[in-house]
Amino acid sequence: MAIIINLDVEMAKQKKSLTELAGDVDITLANLSILKNNKARAIRFSTLNAICRALQCQPGDILEFVDDENNSETEV
């Protein structure tokens, strides 16, 4: 996938643990872990909004587009 989630980087910058952020965002540890480990296939805007509010950051600080040459050749 060409979208990378840099949640772990922002959490480290803010010195927030997974448990603390999960409580702030009102999301389960399991779902937050999926996001943190870049295993998510989608994210709700309301969740992204809550994460950005809790970490005092912008969506672009968490989400990054990385050109994946393999995807561009196989997908039409």
CATH code where residue 16 lies: 1.10.260.40
Tens digits of residue pLDDT in 38-63? 999 999 999 999 999 999 999 999 99
Of 57, 68, 56, 47, residue with least CA distance to 3: 68
For residues 72 and 46, what is the distance between their CA atoms, to the nearest angstrom?
29
The domain of 10 spans 3-64
Q: Give helix 29-36 / helix 7-14 axis angle, nearest 10°.
A: 110
Residue 69 lies in a domain: no
pLDDT at 68: 75
pLDDT at 71: 54
pLDDT band at 76 (very low <50, low <70, confident <90, very high): very low
Q: What is the mean pLDDT of residues 11-27?
A: 95
Residue 70 lies in a domain: no
pLDDT band at 74 (very low <50, low <70, confident <90, very high): very low
Residue 76 lies in a domain: no
Please, what is the average pLDDT of the chain?
90
Residue 72 lies in a domain: no
Residue 46 lies in a domain: yes
Give the chain's domain count.
1
Residue 73 lies in a domain: no
